[in-house]
């Protein structure tokens, strides 16, 4: 998805804009539209040609309210636009599609397993994965940063989940197809067929892993299998859904934070120079990279009861899409929101969501991203674009699938 600075007087014919269309995020530019919506229609209802409709929420305060208020907006009927009005078979079973208080029963063991303290003992594994991902930078030639970033999450998520390394390429391909079935790089037919095929492959894979796993293994799959709901162990379908959710969350978001940040550094070399010159800016750069990229483009909820958002009445049963990339450009919260500012503080972004469903993998993502930017500034003095950029065809993930760059090295080879 392109990240641009809208002109203040841009006119938008909102009736001609299709916020549902995955292709628009690959070839179009949502930021002028989101800007217009925040100013003129912060709660906007769109009707699709087949009669389905949904509300778009674009301001930071309204986004936080919808994501926080689980008593008015439920996650159990579906959390992504691709499932609009189709229902969600994982509702009430998968953590991401379960409302409190049941949600907490699924979340708490994972909160502990993925806490910064628990992950500290994995620091060498994580650092090794980051260095391997950035190895192409050390040659000083042209390399595809997006492709390298896409491989990184499996190196730590696959290890933490106890998934064999020989399975990682398939798992990467299936998860990308699951979140971008319209993208030609991942399609296996029409989008519905691609989505069904990827889900079948991923669910089947985890069913087999769970049935044949060594119960003595200490990994995240074991953590899930140890969860108790209503005094019982997770059923097989519940365990499968949550394994799928953990893998998907890591594989399809972290890479795009790295790619979008590198693209920002290409556009503004001075921002990267500030990071190179001051290692104390790594933490702020991580938070700005998350805000800037907002890799999870939207989350969806359904109104449980009649309510009002931004002065518009939303009826019980209607779908509400919260656009995180828009909320994270809200000028009432972020000064100069269209500038990648590695010194930004405070930074109240909601790239990880907000409220009960705040991303359970946020501590892991932050640790890895700190390592990425620390290693990047140590190895690379400058990024140059070396070819056309390709953006992911998806209304869910704001991503880059091709980012050819040439890197200038620090200290010869950066070692």
With respect to residue 4, please indicate whether it lies within any of the assigned structural domains: no
pLDDT at 188: 83
In a domain, residue 1? The reply is: no
Q: Is residue 7 included in any domain, yes or no?
A: no
Confidence of residue 4 (pLDDT cuts 50, 70, 90): confident
- Give the pLDDT confidence score for residue 182 in this predicted structure: 95
Q: What is the pLDDT of residue 10?
A: 72
State the pLDDT confidence band at 72, using cuts at 50, 70 and 90: very high
User: Which pLDDT score is estimated for 79?
Assistant: 96
* Residue 415 in this model has a pLDDT that exceeds 70: no
Is 261:146 a contact under the CB 8 Å cutoff?
Answer: no
**Within a domain: residue 42?**
yes
Evaluate the CA torsion angle 23, 153, 259, 385 in order and state its sign.
negative
The answer to whether residue 182 sits within a structural domain is: yes
Q: pLDDT tens digit string along 163-180? A: 999 999 999 999 999 999
pLDDT at 9: 67
d(CA 376, CA 370): 10
Q: Which residues contact 301 (CB under 8 A, 6 or more apart)?
A: 66, 67, 73, 74, 75, 79, 319, 320, 322
Domain count, the chain: 1
Does the residue 292 lie in any domain? Answer: yes
In the prediction, which pLDDT does 156 show? 94
Tokens 């070839």, residue? Answer: 27
Summarised one tens digit per residue, pLDDT across range 222-252 is: 999 999 988 899 999 999 999 999 999 888 8
pTM of the model: 0.96
Residue 142 predicted with pLDDT over 80: yes
Q: Give the chain's end-to-end CA distance (angstroms, integer).
A: 33
- Structure tokens belonging to residue 116: 């910064």
Q: What pLDDT shows up at residue 333?
A: 98
Distance CA 318, CA 301 (A): 9
Percentage above 70 pLDDT, the chain: 98
Percent of the chain with pLDDT over 90: 90
Q: Say whether pLDDT at 204 is over 90.
A: yes
Which of 265, 220, 260, 203 has the alpha carbon at shortest distance from 403? 260
In order of 70, 220, 260, 408, the CA distances from 149 in angstroms are 34, 22, 11, 18
Residue 129 structural domain = 14-409
147: in domain: yes
In the Cβ-directed half-sphere of 9, how many Cα atoms lie within 13 Å? 0
**Tens-digit pLDDT profile for residues 355-391:** 999 999 999 999 999 999 999 999 999 999 999 999 9
pLDDT for 414:
44
pLDDT above 90 for 157 = yes
Scan for tokens 């299709």, then name that residue: 18
CA angle centred on 63, ends 397 and 30, rounded to 5° = 45
pLDDT band at 294 (very low <50, low <70, confident <90, very high): very high
Q: Is 253 part of any domain?
A: yes
CATH code, 114? 1.10.630.10
Round to whole Å and give the CA distance between 66 and 156.
Answer: 32
């Amino acid at each position: 998805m392109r990240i641009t600075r809208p002109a203040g007087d841009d006119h938008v014919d909102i009736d001609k804009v299709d916020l549902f269309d995955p292709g628009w995020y690959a070839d179009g530019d949502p930021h002028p539209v989101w800007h217009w919506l925040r100013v003129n229609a912060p709660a906007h209802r769109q009707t699709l040609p087949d009669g389905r409709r949904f509300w778009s929420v674009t301001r930071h305060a309204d986004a936080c309210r919808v994501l926080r208020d689980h008593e008015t907006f439920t996650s159990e009927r579906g959390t992504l636009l691709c499932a609009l009005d189709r229902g969600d078979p994982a509702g009430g079973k998968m953590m991401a599609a379960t409302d409190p208080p049941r949600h907490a029963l699924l979340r708490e063991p994972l909160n502990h397993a993925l806490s910064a303290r628990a992950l500290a003992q994995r620091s060498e594994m994580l650092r090794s994965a980051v260095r391997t991902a950035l190895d192409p930078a050390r040659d000083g030639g042209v390399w595809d940063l997006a492709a390298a970033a896409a491989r990184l999450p499996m190196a730590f998520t696959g290890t933490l989940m106890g998934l064999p390394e020989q399975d990682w390429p398939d798992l990467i391909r299936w998860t990308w197809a699951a979140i971008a079935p319209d993208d030609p790089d991942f399609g296996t037919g029409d989008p519905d067929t691609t989505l069904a095929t990827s889900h079948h492959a991923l669910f089947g894979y985890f069913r087999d892993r769970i049935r044949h796993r060594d119960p003595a293994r200490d990994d995240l799959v074991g953590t899930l299998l140890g969860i108790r709901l209503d005094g019982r162990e997770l059923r097989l379908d519940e365990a499968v859904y949550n394994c799928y959710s953990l893998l998907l969350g890591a594989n399809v978001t972290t890479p795009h934070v790295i790619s979008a940040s590198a693209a920002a550094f290409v556009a503004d070399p001075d921002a990267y120079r500030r990071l190179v010159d001051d290692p104390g800016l790594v933490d702020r750069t991580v938070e700005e990279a998350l805000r800037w990229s907002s890799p999870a483009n939207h989350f969806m909820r359904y109104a449980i009861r009649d309510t009002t958002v931004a002065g518009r009445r939303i009826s019980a049963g209607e779908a509400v899409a919260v656009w995180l990339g828009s909320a994270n450009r809200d000028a009432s919260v972020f000064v100069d929101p269209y500038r990648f500012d590695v010194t930004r503080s405070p930074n109240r972004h909601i790239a990880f969501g907000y409220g009960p469903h705040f991303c359970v993998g946020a501590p892991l993502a932050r640790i890895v991203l700190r390592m990425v930017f620390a290693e990047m500034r140590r190895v690379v003095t400058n990024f140059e674009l070396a070819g056309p950029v390709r953006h992911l065809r998806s209304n869910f993930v704001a991503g880059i699938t091709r980012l050819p760059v040439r890197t200038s090295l620090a200290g010869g080879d950066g070692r």
